[in-house]
Structure 1
Amino acid sequence: MENNSIDVNVNLSIETLQSGNLTKTKISESGKFTQMGKSIYLRFNESLENGAKASILVKVGGNGEIHIKRVAKSTNLSSLLYFTHQKHNNGQLETEYGVLPLDTFTKDSKVEIVSKPLSGKINIDYDLIYDNNVIGNYKFRLIFGV
């Protein structure tokens, strides 16, 4: 997969609304863009405290479904979430204590990719759900380009 990867710059901003508290996270990193068949993959790292990193993989399938996998070895946390426009999906959070089922409801999603020069946007507005309770509202905004 790495042989046909293209180096890109990734800018990600995430707004999180949990229990009335709004948190904003911004990530700017270099990453890799790969296309295999009708699916595209974006890989990049998130810098954490103490010089640790979390690896992030964003996959957009040919059917428009978006998968986001985040692995932070230093904190023993990994998550795998799925997003389909206007649908509920099952995902999970793996901790050192076991696996927690997390669901998402994708309120809105939009993917735009331009091939020359390579650039794109992936926007997802979603609710994160645990045990049938919404635990947060999220706005995921990813922009990438060469």
Structure 2
Amino acid sequence: MENNRFDVKVELNIDTVQSGELTHTKISEPGQFIQMGDSMYLRFNESLDNDDTASILVKITESGEIHVKRVAKSTNLASLLYFTHQKHNTGHLETEYGILPLQTFTKDSKVEIVSNPLSGKINIDYDLIYDNNVIGNYKFRLIFSA
């Protein structure tokens, strides 16, 4: 299958509850939607302080599994998390001090993609787990459109 690439506008909202405290992150950036074979990818950058960026890649597999990779070179942090509806998955966080194994438990996930005009939604509700302890509850809401 040929590679299909489209410029898209990405809006990502993440609500995080850690130690009883709610934080909200909003990212609104241009990005690219790419279809290669049976997988779909969304690529965009997150603006950080000091005019720096982190690159984010979201992969949706044919089976509906979602992979989220985030790399921030300036802070030497990279994470790769996997999400499968109602399942535990193992991922990791790479730091300058080494690799920390992380787990996710996907409470709910939904992917809706429409081809004409190209648009979509990716919703993930999950727990982030380190050393068998839930360290945060997350609501990941990504909307994109061409």
Instruction: Bin the TM-score by the shorter chain.
Output: over 0.9
The percent of aligned pairs where both chains have the same amino acid is: 78
Partner of 1:25: 25
Deviation at 1:39, TM superposition (A): 0.7
**Residues 11-50 of structure 1: matches in 2 within 5 Å?**
11-50=11-50
Partner of 1:9: 9
Partner of 1:88: 88
Deviation at 1:38, TM superposition (A): 1.4
Looking at structure 2, the residues matched to 93 and 38 of structure 1 have their Cα atoms a distance apart, in angstroms, of 27
Deviation at 1:36, TM superposition (A): 1.0
Deviation at 1:18, TM superposition (A): 0.1
Partner of 1:78: 78
Give runs of ≥4 in structure 1 deviating > 2 Å.
Answer: none
Partner of 1:123: 123
Partner of 2:68: 68
TM-score, structure 1 length as denominator? 0.98
Q: Deviations over 1:100-136 (max 9, x none)?
A: 0000000000000000000000000000000000000
Corresponding letter in the other structure for 2:85: H
Equivalent residue of 1:74, what SS?
helix
Looking at structure 2, the residues matched to 74 and 22 of structure 1 have their Cα atoms a distance apart, in angstroms, of 26
In the alignment, is the contact (CA less than 8 A) between 2:6 and 2:33 conserved in 1? yes
Structure 2 spans left out of the alignment, 5+ residues:
none
Looking at structure 1, the residues matched to 27 and 105 of structure 2 have their Cα atoms a distance apart, in angstroms, of 24
Partner of 1:138: 138
In the alignment, is the contact (CA less than 8 A) between 2:121 and 2:142 conserved in 1? yes
Corresponding letter in the other structure for 1:15: D
Instruction: Note the aligned Cα RMSD (angstroms).
Output: 0.6
Partner of 2:54: 54
Deviation at 1:4, TM superposition (A): 3.1
Q: Deviations over 1:52-73 (max 9, x none)?
A: 0000000000000000000000
